[in-house]
């Protein structure tokens, strides 16, 4: 996590909590020549546009005061989403037993993305399907929740 993300996380956590939400993640990226600060929130009962708006309105003046980003940027506040990425140890612990997708930096046996049930994470490895698949953390580009969209619709 970079300096901007650390500062914004410290500012956004209490703001999200005051809105009845949990801060899920903060991301600062440059896309198409513009800077974008994304704040992802979560809530057990789901995140509405009103939650996003409340967090955005409360966070904006705090960001102006702290000024962690040089130049102009776009602030986006949104739900973490159904297929949210898992990054922190607490994210993995929360979703043990759930379907995840693991994307590797380099293919293993010709396959770059694996889907299975998250059965373990120890900071060094990600384990799926009770140990049938074990990935070294250094080889993993991304782990996210996996949703079978036919089951959702």
Domain boundaries, the chain: 3-79, 89-152
Interacting residues of 61 by C-beta distance below 8 A, sequence separation 6+: none
Residue 86, Cβ density class (10 Å: 0-12 exposed, 13-18 middle, ≥19 buried): buried
Q: What is the CATH number of domain 89-152?
A: 2.30.30.100
Could you tell me the pTM of the whole model?
0.82
Tens of pLDDT, residues 8-35: 999 999 999 999 999 999 999 999 889 9
Write down the residue that tokens 């009845």 correspond to: 20
Q: How confident is the model at residue 136 (pLDDT cuts 50, 70, 90)?
A: very high
Q: Which two tokens stand for residue 87?
A: 């990054």
- The pLDDT value recorded for residue 152 is 55
CATH T-level topology, domain 3-79:
GMP Synthetase; Chain A, domain 3 (3.30.300)
Q: What is the largest CA-CA distance in the chain?
A: 51
pLDDT of residue 144: 96
Q: Which two tokens stand for residue 21?
A: 């939400």
CB 25 within 8 A of CB 90: no
């Amino acid at each position: 996590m970079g300096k901007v993300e650390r500062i914004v996380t410290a500012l956004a956590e209490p703001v999200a909590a005051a809105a009845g939400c949990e801060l899920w993640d903060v991301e600062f990226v440059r896309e198409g020549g513009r800077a974008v600060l994304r704040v992802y929130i979560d809530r057990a009962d789901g995140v509405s546009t009103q939650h996003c708006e409340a967090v955005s309105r409360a966070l904006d003046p705090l960001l102006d005061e702290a000024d962690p980003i040089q130049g102009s940027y776009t602030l986006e506040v949104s739900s973490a989403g159904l297929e949210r990425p898992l990054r922190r140890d607490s994210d993995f612990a929360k979703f043990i037993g759930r379907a995840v997708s693991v994307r590797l930096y380099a293919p293993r046996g010709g396959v770059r993305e694996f889907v299975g049930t998250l059965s373990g994470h120890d900071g060094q490895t990600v384990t799926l399907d009770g140990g049938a698949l074990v990935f070294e953390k250094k080889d993993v580009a991304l782990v996210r929740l996996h949703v079978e969209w036919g089951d959702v619709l």
